[in-house]
């Protein structure tokens, strides 16, 4: 049974990865309904939070039904990170996660995200200060290292644990790899197999089939799987993995009715959370996957992703439901 601090997150939990512009409250709620055991917000800038930037503050919203939920923050300046901890605490999350893995230039150039992998002492001291500043469990999400020649993840994980970090999610790539190549889970298993480690070690990177999640559990012996891209527009992925774990066979893919229902609820929740305009705009990215595989679907997808008003998008959902009611998804 994995525990993040005092929070019991079950046997081999499935975690929804923090994803910018994806892991918002509506999407997290859908993933939770489909079996995600822990969900995380997208990364939120500590500098934005302390300046009360509206965009950063809105990202703090959480729904009761998503718990346990972690709010992820990033930054490299101690004072800003500590002030952010206080702001984040006021939103009542269960966990505060620190992003030490974002590879994007504008983040890395400020020494934040994966940039901190060049200064492990700072990574450890920031984590320690944050742990001391809150009663909430502090967790870390990071990568294997800055580049192939500087992988020290076993030592880094031990030092993070020693200063009170309560769980570590590790993406099996270096910053230099960005998203290229295959994620390497062997170094993550080395972290887990270190006899000194006792906090949960979650594996991340390329889990896109139930079999891969099982491999992460059985072959690599990790404590849970963090899932990102495989869930975008496909919140059912969590249910499918759990079904496979329980039965050893794949469950049937969601029907057209289930897909349309999810797309509708997603859009409804998005509109009630961030308003008509943003709700319509920001839910678009999910539709391709919701309806993936249907032949000659372009015309309908275009209606969904180019309409500016929700009534037209809902009408497109209705049309698709009628036209493709009997379509058998593979």
Cβ 140 vs Cβ 74: under 8 Å: no
Contact segment (CB under 6 A) with ligand FMN among 149-157, 185-193, 202-210, 319-327 equals 202-210
* Cα 41 to Cα 18: distance, rounded to the nearest angstrom: 5
* Cα 235 to Cα 189: distance, rounded to the nearest angstrom: 27
| Chain position carrying tokens 């790899």 | 177
Q: How far is the CB of 103 from ligand FMN (least distance, A)?
A: 9
Q: How many CB atoms lie within 10 A of CB 56?
A: 20
Closest by alpha carbon to 99, among 282, 226, 233, 229? 226
Contact segment (CB under 6 A) with ligand FMN among 188-196, 200-208, 253-261, 322-330 equals 200-208
Binding to ligand FMN by residue 76, rule CB under 6 A?
Answer: no
Binding to ligand FMN by residue 207, rule CB under 6 A?
Answer: yes
Interface residue with ligand FMN among 34, 45, 46, 72 (CB under 6 A) is 72
Total count of residues recorded for the chain: 330
The per-residue DSSP string of 170-207 comes to EESS-TTTTT-S----HHHHHHHH-TT--S-EEEES--
Interface residue with ligand FMN among 5, 13, 18, 235 (CB under 6 A) is 18
* Cα 80 to Cα 50: distance, rounded to the nearest angstrom: 7
Task: Give the residue with the Cβ less far from ligand FMN, 136 or 183.
Answer: 183
Q: List phi, psi (to 5°) of 296.
A: 50, 45
Output Rg (C-alpha) for the chain, integer angstroms.
20
Q: How many CB atoms lie within 10 A of CB 162?
A: 12
Instruction: Look at the alpha carbons of 119, 125, 51, 43 in this order and tell me if their dihedral is positive or negative.
Output: positive
Task: Give the residue with the Cβ less far from ligand FMN, 19 or 160.
Answer: 19
The per-residue DSSP string of 46-87 comes to HHHHHTT-HHHHHTT---GGG-SEEEEEE-S-HHHHHHHHHH
* Cα 26 to Cα 139: distance, rounded to the nearest angstrom: 23
Binding to ligand FMN by residue 68, rule CB under 6 A?
Answer: no
Task: Give the residue with the Cβ less far from ligand FMN, 204 or 310.
Answer: 204
Task: Give the residue with the Cβ less far from ligand FMN, 30 or 260.
Answer: 30
Q: How many CB atoms lie within 10 A of CB 55?
A: 9
Binding to ligand FMN by residue 229, rule CB under 6 A?
Answer: yes
Per the annotation, the verdict on 31 as an active-site residue is: no
Contact segment (CB under 6 A) with ligand FMN among 77-85, 160-168, 201-209, 302-310 equals 201-209
Task: Give the residue with the Cβ less far from ligand FMN, 80 or 142.
Answer: 142
Q: How far is the CB of 79 from ligand FMN (least distance, A)?
A: 22
Q: How far is the CB of 242 from ligand FMN (least distance, A)?
A: 16
Contact segment (CB under 6 A) with ligand FMN among 53-61, 83-91, 98-106, 252-260 equals 98-106
Task: Give the residue with the Cβ less far from ligand FMN, 216 or 320.
Answer: 216
Strands 95-100 and 138-143: parallel
Binding to ligand FMN by residue 101, rule CB under 6 A?
Answer: yes
Q: Tell me, by CB under 6 A, how many residues bind ligand FMN.
A: 21
Binding to ligand FMN by residue 59, rule CB under 6 A?
Answer: no
Q: Going residue by residue from 164 to 183, which x/- string records binding to ligand FMN, judged by CB under 6 A?
A: -------x------------
Task: Give the residue with the Cβ less far from ligand FMN, 225 or 262.
Answer: 225
Binding to ligand FMN by residue 102, rule CB under 6 A?
Answer: yes
Binding site for ligand FMN (CB under 6 A): 17-20, 22, 42-43, 72, 99, 101-102, 141, 171, 204-207, 227-230
Catalytic residues: 102
């Amino acid at each position: 049974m994995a525990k993040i601090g005092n929070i019991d997150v079950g046997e081999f939990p499935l975690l929804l990865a923090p994803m910018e512009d994806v892991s918002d409250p509506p999407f997290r709620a859908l993933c939770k309904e489909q079996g995600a055991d822990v969900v995380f917000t997208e990364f939120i800038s500590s500098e934005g939070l302390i300046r009360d930037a509206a965009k950063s503050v809105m990202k703090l919203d959480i729904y009761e039904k998503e718990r346990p939920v972690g709010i992820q923050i990033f930054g490299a300046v101690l004072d800003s990170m500590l002030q952010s901890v206080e702001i984040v605490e006021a939103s009542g999350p269960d966990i505060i996660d620190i992003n030490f893995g974002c590879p994007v230039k504008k983040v890395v150039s400020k020494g934040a995200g994966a940039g901190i992998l060049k200064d492990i002492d700072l990574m450890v001291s920031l984590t320690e200060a944050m742990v001391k500043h809150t009663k909430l469990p502090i967790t870390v999400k990071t990568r294997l290292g800055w580049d192939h020649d500087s992988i020290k993840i076993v030592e880094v994980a031990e030092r993070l644990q020693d200063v009170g970090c309560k769980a570590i999610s590790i993406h099996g790539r270096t910053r230099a790899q960005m998203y290229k190549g295959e994620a390497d889970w062997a170094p993550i298993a080395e972290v887990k197999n270190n006899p000194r480690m006792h906090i949960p070690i979650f594996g991340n990177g390329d889990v896109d089939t139930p079999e891969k999640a099982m491999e992460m559990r059985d072959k690599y012996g990790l404590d849970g799987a963090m899932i990102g891209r495989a869930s975008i527009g496909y919140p059912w992925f969590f249910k499918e993995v759990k079904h496979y774990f329980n039965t050893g066979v794949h469950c049937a893919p969601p029907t057209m009715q289930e897909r349309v229902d999810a797309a509708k609820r997603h859009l409804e929740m998005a509109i009630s959370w961030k308003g008509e305009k943003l709700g319509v705009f920001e839910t678009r990215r999910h539709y391709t996957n919701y309806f993936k595989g249907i032949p000659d679907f372009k015309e309908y997808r275009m209606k969904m992703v180019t309409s500016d008003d929700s009534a037209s998008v809902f009408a497109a959902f209705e049309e698709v439901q009628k036209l493709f009611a009997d379509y058998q998804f593979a």
